[in-house]
Amino acid sequence: MLTARSSFEAHLYMDLHPCECGSGDFERGHRLEQHGDDIVAVYEGACRQCGTVRRFVFRMTDEIPPPPPAFGGPQPSQIIDPGEFADVAFRISESAGVRLLNTPEAEQHKLRDAVAYAVAAFEEIPKFIPPGEDAVPAKAFISETGRARYRREPRKFQRDVLARNIRDARAVLADIDEHSPGSGGATAPRD
């Protein structure tokens, strides 16, 4: 059974695993169940494109999840690898960056949730670095997407590069907070 540290992590996992038809869009009915000592989150719904019923079951960790948009506590994800987090972080930060350039400063708060989500994804990657090491090890990349990203850009998984990416993304977020009133709550961006 999949183990999720938060509902945000469970939703990202579902986003990263589309239906066989290629669509990731399905109405996610949700319920919690008690299975022995475990709390289990069950998400079910029909694919909006082909009608196939999709079902995901996650054992939720015992720790109280951090507030959104964080995906989990200090331990690395067991279901999403660092390359997948990197794909999400770079895709969203690049998209939000282009939109920020074309949005008046007074309205940039509308992009805050997307930038905060990218920051949270960037912050997940260093959790995969073992103590005393300076980079995410190749064995941490367990998905096809993650392994492909690591092969293309192994340097982006070094501690110093990750720290710079996090610092830069946080600076964009801080700039939005400082110069654009009306920041909202964290939600997962849907590009």
Stated pTM of the model: 0.92
- Copy the structure tokens of residue 40: 């289990």
Question: Please, which residues bridge with residue 40 across strands?
Answer: 33, 59
Strand-strand pairing, 38-46 and 29-35: antiparallel
Please check the confidence at residue 191 and state whether its pLDDT lies above 90: no
Angstrom distances, CA of residue 108 to CA of 70, 95, 121, 172, 189: 21, 13, 20, 11, 15
pLDDT score for 187: 52
pLDDT, tens only, 110-129? 999 999 999 999 999 999 99
pLDDT score for 164: 98
d(CA 180, CA 83): 32
Closest CA to 68 of 106, 23, 123, 14: 123
pLDDT band at residue 10 under the 50/70/90 scheme: very high
Strand-strand pairing, 53-60 and 2-4: parallel
User: Where exactly does CATH 2.20.25 map onto the chain?
Assistant: 2-60
pLDDT, tens only, 76-112? 999 999 999 999 999 999 999 999 999 999 999 999 9
Interior angle at CA 65, CA 63 and CA 70, nearest 5: 140
CATH architecture of 2-60: Single Sheet (2.20)
pLDDT, tens only, 14-54? 999 999 999 999 999 999 999 999 999 999 999 999 999 99
pLDDT score for 12: 97
Average pLDDT, the chain: 94
Closest CA to 71 of 85, 86, 57: 85
pLDDT score for 180: 81
Burial of 158 (0-12, 13-18, 19+ CB in 10 A): middle
